[in-house]
């Protein structure tokens, strides 16, 4: 390897620096002038578009429709739900001047849209016949963050927020869990990230929610990432915003609401879960380019190789694979190999004079590095099959990693040692009190990531009191 390749620090040596370098070298994002603002560059945005499309299809399939709500939220709206303001107050950015006039009431740039959406919903909902309301919004939000990193924590970020309204508590709860499942499927099937799902502890709940459910992924450095959340809001917001409807019995009652969100943070998760020392690795389902053809030519046969590469490109593209052909004449094949590996392209197709002679091409998998010679006629079919295989293998690799890094702690000593030494997920009983949760956090910096749905009883490692199993980790 040459020194240029070694410019990317090893993931295992300095994960933090590796991440920042990779984001810039792979042209995913670039820093903005204001703290926490970033430009998502075309390659990064294409990944987001793929994820977005996958999720959006799933939302539509479960009966949701998209809409758009205002960016600016009057202060008085935010204040209506007490817990909600308190939760977001430290992170708000305010608009106080419009044109040249000082505003009578300052306007918050949305950190999330519950409050302003509820204000609309109050007017839109009169009767049980208006329910359920199943609306999703794709937008940007702003939270004044102190410590930021591209994708993982940015002041402004892109996301999707679903806001639904239901006649009964039961329906709202079902919706909350349904959307958690939708996220889970997207992570597993599209992003090849094996997330764990479960409920949050009360202290980690969304401000204003009755219950928060989460998808938690385990990153390559053993830290957990909250990747998407789904909230059962109960009647909290309906009461605060005075949303009511007449039910079948002619009684005026408050409806039940949910909200759920998934953000560009997941791109950070994708990088951390799948990336390696050579750079990014993208699952085929969301890779903007699924296979790249690198022609290898010599002076005398350049024209021929070039023509063959172009023909192969057209042929494979027509068979439905997202192809790219790298006809750049300034760089050597070796340079291109490294470049496309850095970008995480799932398969490289090498085509040189020897291959043309033999009527074949060389396929190299990004996930395993395996090299294979394939006859020209079988190429399209082979590639198509490879996409599925790579997708599956990447999920399997991530799953294996997660399993190897999920440990049961039998004593508090052991718990502390695991967090200090290996990190990863630690499974241990919790007595349900905030005191023990807080103590563990102070001692180890690990927090409860989730309470699994499968209830398991046990004795709390700190207090000795009876409790249920929780999953702990140090989080991003």
**Contacts with RNA in 155-174 (CB under 7 A)?**
155, 157, 159
Compute CA distances 252 → 134, 166, 242, whole Å.
Answer: 21, 14, 11
Query: Which one of residues 10, 27, 60, 146 is an interface residue with RNA (CB under 7 A)?
Result: 146
| Rounded Cα–Cα distance for residues 379 and 373 (Å) | 10
The residues in 321-340 that bind RNA, with binding defined as CB under 7 A, are 329-339
The residues in 71-90 that bind RNA, with binding defined as CB under 7 A, are 87, 90
For RNA, which is the closer residue by CB, 19 or 245? 19
- Shortest spacing between CB 395 and RNA, in angstroms: 21
Query: Which one of residues 113, 197, 226, 230 is an interface residue with RNA (CB under 7 A)?
Result: 226
For RNA, which is the closer residue by CB, 323 or 356? 356
For RNA, which is the closer residue by CB, 248 or 329? 329
The residues in 12-51 that bind RNA, with binding defined as CB under 7 A, are 16-17, 20, 31, 34-36
Q: Which residues are CB-contacts of 462 (< 8 A; sequence separation ≥ 6)?
A: 412, 431, 436, 439, 440
Query: Cα 376 from chain centroid?
Result: 37
Bridge partners of residue 229, in order along the sequence: 214, 261
The residues in 89-128 that bind RNA, with binding defined as CB under 7 A, are 90-91
- Shortest spacing between CB 147 and RNA, in angstroms: 4
For RNA, which is the closer residue by CB, 132 or 274? 274
The residues in 172-211 that bind RNA, with binding defined as CB under 7 A, are 206
The residues in 439-468 that bind RNA, with binding defined as CB under 7 A, are 441-442, 445
Number of residues that bind RNA (CB under 7 A): 72
- Shortest spacing between CB 372 and RNA, in angstroms: 11
* Span of 4-12, 245-253, 282-290, 413-421 interacting with RNA by CB under 7 A: 4-12
| Rounded Cα–Cα distance for residues 473 and 163 (Å) | 29
> Applying CB under 7 A, does 369 fall inside the site for RNA?
yes
> Applying CB under 7 A, does 284 fall inside the site for RNA?
no
Query: Which one of residues 136, 148, 176, 257 is an interface residue with RNA (CB under 7 A)?
Result: 148
For RNA, which is the closer residue by CB, 188 or 335? 335
Taking Cα atoms as reference points, which of 143, 171, 149, 144 lies closest to residue 261?
A: 143
- Shortest spacing between CB 29 and RNA, in angstroms: 11
């Amino acid at each position: 390897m040459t020194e240029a390749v070694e410019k990317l620090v090893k993931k295992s040596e300095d994960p933090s620096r590796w991440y920042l370098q990779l984001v810039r070298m792979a042209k995913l994002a670039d820093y903005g002038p204001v703290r926490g603002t970033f430009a998502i560059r075309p390659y990064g945005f294409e990944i987001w578009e793929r994820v977005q499309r996958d999720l959006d299809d799933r939302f539509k399939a479960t009966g949701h429709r998209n809409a758009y709500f205002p960016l600016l939220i009057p202060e008085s709206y935010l204040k209506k739900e007490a817990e909600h303001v308190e939760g977001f107050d430290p992170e708000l950015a305010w608009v106080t001047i419009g044109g040249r006039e000082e505003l009578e009431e300052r306007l918050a740039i949305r950190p999330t849209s519950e409050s302003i959406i509820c204000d609309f919903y109050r007017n839109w909902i009169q009767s049980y016949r208006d329910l359920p309301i199943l609306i999703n919004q794709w937008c940007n939000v702003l939270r004044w963050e102190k410590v930021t990193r591209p994708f993982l924590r940015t002041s402004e970020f892109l996301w999707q927020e679903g806001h639904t309204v239901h006649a009964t508590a039961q329906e709202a709860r079902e919706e909350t869990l349904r959307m958690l499942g939708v996220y889970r499927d997207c992570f597993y099937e599209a992003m090849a990230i094996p997330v764990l799902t479960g409920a949050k502890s009360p202290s980690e709940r969304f401000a204003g929610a009755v219950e928060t459910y989460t998808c938690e992924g385990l990153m390559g450095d053993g830290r957990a990432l909250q990747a998407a959340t789904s909230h059962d809001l109960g009647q909290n917001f309906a009461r605060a915003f005075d949303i009511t409807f007449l039910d079948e019995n002619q009684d005026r009652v408050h409806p039940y609401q949910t909200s759920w969100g998934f953000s560009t943070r997941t791109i950070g998760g994708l990088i951390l879960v799948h990336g390696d020392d050579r750079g990014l690795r993208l699952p085929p389902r969301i890779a903007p380019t699924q296979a790249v053809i690198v022609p290898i030519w010599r002076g005398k046969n350049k024209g021929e190789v070039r023509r063959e590469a172009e023909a192969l490109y057209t042929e494979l593209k027509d068979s439905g694979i997202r192809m790219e052909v790298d006809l750049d004449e300034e760089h050597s094949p070796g340079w291109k190999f490294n470049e496309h590996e850095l970008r995480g392209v799932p398969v490289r197709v090498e085509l040189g004079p020897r291959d043309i002679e033999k009527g074949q091409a060389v396929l190299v998998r990004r996930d395993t590095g395996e090299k294979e010679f394939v006859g020209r006629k079988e190429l399209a079919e082979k590639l198509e099959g490879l996409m599925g295989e790579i997708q599956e293998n990447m999920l399997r690799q991530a799953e294996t990693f997660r399993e190897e890094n999920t440990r049961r702690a039998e004593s508090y000593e052991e718990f502390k040692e695991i967090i200090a030494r290996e990190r990863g997920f630690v499974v241990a009983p919790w007595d349900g009190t905030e005191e023990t949760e807080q103590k563990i956090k102070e001692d180890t910096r690990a927090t409860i990531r989730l309470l699994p749905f499968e209830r398991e009883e046990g004795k709390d490692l700190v207090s000795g009191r009876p409790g249920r199993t929780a999953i702990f980790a140090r989080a991003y």
